[in-house]
Amino acid sequence: MAAEIHDLADHRPHLTIAVDDGVHVMPVALVREVIAGDKPSSILTEPVVRRIIEEWIERVTA
């Protein structure tokens, strides 16, 4: 399955998430829609979800 590519200039601000399979760049609005339940969490890959949780844990326990 090929990834869909978008011009991120239209979707600022965005997050850059480095995971084992590469770097993922996604709009903050998309992540907020997943958090709100407006989009399914399945649109985020497992490595991306793990990295987001890992960085969140690091910040809240620092």
Quick: pLDDT tens for 14-40. Answer: 899 999 989 998 899 999 999 999 999
Q: What is the pLDDT of residue 4?
A: 73
Q: pTM score, two decimals?
A: 0.74
Q: What is the pLDDT of residue 1?
A: 57
Q: In whole angstroms, give the CA distance from residue 9 to residue 26.
A: 11
Whole-angstrom CA distances from 41 to 7, 31, 54, 59, 62 are 22, 9, 16, 22, 26
Q: What is the pLDDT of residue 12?
A: 81
Mean pLDDT of 56-62: 93
- 5 pLDDT tier (thresholds 50, 70, 90): confident
51 closest CA partner among 29, 21, 30, 27: 21
